[in-house]
Amino acid sequence: MNTRNNSNRSGKGADKRKPNLRQNRKKGPTRSQKPEKPDDGLIRLNKFIADSGVCSRREADRLIETGAIKVNGKVVTQVGTKVSPTDKVQYDGETLNREKPQYVLLNKPKGYITTMDDPRDRKTVVELIKRACKERVYPVGRLDRNTTGVLLFTNDGELAKRLSHPKYNVHKVYQVTLDQALTKSDMNKIADGLTLEDGPVKVDAIAYAEDSSDKRVIGIELHSGKNRIVRRIFESLEYKIVKLDRVSFAGLTKKEVPRGKWRHLTEKEISMLKMRGNV
């Protein structure tokens, strides 16, 4: 295979014909931060709020400063306040539960929408992971109804916010099947960067699938979080996507997870995600 911007590495978990993509990853920002030490079982109020899945720690600080948080019936406005796990913490009149953080990876099948519930009573991804844990977990980002592959769920609000934020350059790898062969000229156009209706878009790597003479099967890696970005890239060059499968998200793959099934992340994977998001 002789393509632009490729190498011998590819996203794990792809099907037999794996895209051969250059792993051109930029390191995210780092910071030195000592782990928070327990103090007689007390934890910071912003962490309690983040662990409940409401928002990130930074956003929790803003809620505290604006007087939106009550502890045991009293408004607390002091950032840095510590609470006991048994204290009653309320936001907007609702009592928050500091749940055990859960991280679930789903290999999403076609025909399910990425939402917690649907007024039109269509099939949702939540139906597929309802037995994964007793805690209520939420999808990180979205895959449209006809897109398959890696979808992460968690109740870790802080991590979810960071993995969704463009500045952390969370990489995704997709395997795309087109309605016609992708020309080398069009592949080069995509590699060089396109301008769509909502502005310029750059991909990190693009290549024909390995072990296949079928030029309709493409691997593409990018970190853009724009809506339907992969479909719009190819549609702008008058290609129609027949199949779209996300084989990797933030280093997570669907390897050994059958379509429609889920698994819990390992401690190693959780640590890796937190390092990527500097949580």
User: What amino acid positions are annotated as catalytic residues?
Assistant: 144
CA distance 200 to 193: 7
List of long-range contacts for 263-271, beta carbons under 8 Å, 24+ apart = 263/104, 263/105, 264/102, 264/103, 264/104, 264/105, 264/132, 264/133, 265/103, 265/104, 265/105, 269/103, 270/103
Instruction: Show the tokens assigned to 234.
Output: 């190819």
Taking CA 216 as the corner, what is the angle to CA 210 and CA 150, rounded to the nearest 5 degrees?
Answer: 70
- The DSSP secondary-structure symbol of 98 reads -
Please enumerate in sequence order all residues whose Cβ is within 8 A of that of 225, keeping only pairs 6 or more positions apart, or say none: 141, 164, 166, 170
